[in-house]
Structure 1
Amino acid sequence: MAPFQERTGATVTALARPAAALAMAGLLLLTLLAGVVGLAAPARADTVSQIADGLRSSRLYVTTEARGALDAGAQARVRTALDQARHADVRAVVTKPGVGQQTLVGMLRAVQDRVGRGGTYVAITADDKMLGISDRLSGSEINRVIAQTSGGNIENRLVEFGRLADRQAAADERSGTVTSFVLLGLLVFVVAGVAGLMLTSRNRRRRREAEQMAELKEGVQEDVTRLGEDIAALDLNLTDPKLAPEAREDYTHALNSYDAAKAAVDAAQHPEDMRNVTSALEDGRYYMTAVRARLEGRPVPERRPPCFFNPQHGPSVQDVLWAPPGGVPREVPACAADAEAVLIGASPDARMVPVGGTRRPYWEAGPAYAPYAGGYYRGFGGVDLLSGMLIGTALGSMFGGGWGFGGYPGGMGVPPQDFGGDTGDLGGGWDFGSGDFGGGGDFGGGDF
């Protein structure tokens, strides 16, 4: 039995050797086939998100399909150069050869949007085609920088691009700073000029208003003085027992109105303050006229508006048709003497007031006399009455234009300013050599 067992074991061992060899050969064949298949299958392209992630931590990204374009040492030198470009903040992408212009522009814009920082983005293909976009440099500046880097290899071009782009961005910043200072200086000059003009204009206006106020006060003081003189001319003794109570009451009323007018003219600071003065004068002059009528045994006159031509004449007695020079006729209240003059074609006794060193009728004296006239006619329709009587006169245009009894129109019109600007210049520079990028593409969020 032993010889048989020995022969059997030898036989099994001899059969196992060819089987093991066959298994090893099969395994080697599968390995070779897997290698062939692996070489035949292209590497998956980098996505926009992958490129953006890479550029957040590094100024250079070399895509998987362009790894052979720059070795590790060249990549390190490019990154160092781009890190030094702080003004332009350049970020570069190295891509496979044959990529189209539209595809590269789309990729750069999509990457810039995702990264969220970086002022200038440049792409260069493995076959040495370069383009860029920037919100720091203009399109013409990028074109010029790219053109100045032509003729070198990818490493040298990117290093030179970073240096030139940074220098251009720094120059733009200096120019912008100078321009800002110039504009600021110009703005300060303009503001100072405008402020000076406004101050000069305001001072001139204040001087003119002060002069007008002084003349107006002079004219109104004449009315106050005239009323005081007319009251004094009555020579009335209030203690006389023969004086009728009505006359004593009217006389007291006239004196009180005169005192009120004197106090109001002394306190007046602005033309509109004169309205209170002339309102008191109209009241005092009516009661003085009433006293005179009582003393002479005549009926107390109706309380009518003051004589238009000269309020110092007291209450009017009738309306007459009158027209200012070059104007249309209208009815105005007049005292007996002025009514007669108008009816016979003579000139009425107009109230002449001081204006600009001369004297002219109060209705031709300008805006300062609008409150003056308004106070006299306050109780008789005010603006409604005056606007009709003063049509065609200098004062009438002011009442008709919404002047009321005083105040001055004013204001300064400033033409609207148009301000504009752009949101930056996303320029593109192209260096195609003797070739062309060919067709385009759309990155979106897909592969590159």
Structure 2
Amino acid sequence: MVVVLAIVAAVPLANFIATGASRTLFLSRSNDADWFATMAESPLQTGDIANLRELAVRYQELYNTPVFVVDVDSRVVATSRSGVDVTEPDIEVALASTLAGRLPAEPPALWPWRTGEMIVARPVVNNGRVLGAAVLRVPTENARDQVQRSLLLLLGGLLISIGAIVVGIVRPITRWVLRPLKDLDNATHQITRGALDTRVSTDGRAPELRRLGDSFNSMALSLHQARQREREFVADASHQLRTPLTSARIHIEGLSRLSPTARFALSDIDRLGRIVQRLSRLAGSDRPGADADGNEEPLDLAQAVKERLVGWKAVYAADDLELIIGEMVPGGVAPELEVDDILDVLLDNAAKYGAPPVEVSVTRDGTEVVLAVRDHGLGLGSRDLKKVGERFWRSAHHREMPGTGLGLAIVRSEAARVGGRVVARPPIGGGLVIEVRVPLIDDYDA
């Protein structure tokens, strides 16, 4: 609609430019033709045309415009150049009107695509009697070039105007129309970050967008309720299992002094207790900001790892496994990071699924502190590396071995709780490296 209105307004403006240029050129040359008609009055009566011919030649040299004078019978009596053909259609029409005592009509508009000369004729009159006519053959190239430049400027102004209208009117309208979709996109990103209570407004929207918003809110509510039920189930199961497991352990611990079989049962009870503890921690780590306390001092990750390794060195030594303590670079991390649980999972996995020697190190990498545990076992394939940390996932090579598939999921949740991440990669020389990368606290003073 805007384009149509702009074109409707531009057409008469373009016609005005072309017609105005034609009229200006015609009027300026009409004055010259009147002067020649006056100068030709006496020569046409006396027959002395030498001076008139000289005036025509000088005029063409000065203005680059051919001129000629004819008598009442359309015979050329003086010209600035030879070869004038009075039978040319434009000249013939102009002479027929002029010699009849009438002024020719104004020429048509000078459009850039038109060619040819403009014929300007004026009658030579004495006492009301037409003696002949003075005719100018006016070139129009320069005038048409000027019209073309003016039309290009008009077109440029038209395009700028349309662009301004689009920016000033259409763009805000488009943004207003698409705002509900932008709100929906922002809400989707919030949910992917864990804010399951995010909702979109459906007030004042089009019916289709209102239905879309209602459907999105229903989906978000169902997802929120499902996650809440999952947390409640895990928390309730952990709580309900903890008491009978403790009671069973007390009874079996008494029997273990009498029966070797009871000692195996005690080991299984302890394993079940660790599973319950991990489930409880995994449910709590889903809550954003759980256990966070911004008032505590940063934790030196290297120091915490070294303290935990004291006990693990004895465990590894009892199983004839080599545990190497590598580089330990001090670095402050969030105090709520459960270093003991993370290291227990990584070292237990390395002992069960990898091969010695197992190396533990703490380093810095830019703005991150990196806890790395490396073993020299078979490692994992590229597909399995992408699944490390998924709940209840276990590699096909390790499914026959004892485990729940929750260990690395807990590690990943613990790292994410303080803004960190878990990276699994194959090191040079084979094996597997699990890196827990957490943000470095800049103001930590080692």
Q: Compute the TM-score of the two structures, normalised by the length of structure 1.
A: 0.25
Higher strand share: 2
Which fold has the larger relative contact order, with Cα–Cα distance below 8 Å and residues 6 or more apart in sequence?
A: 1
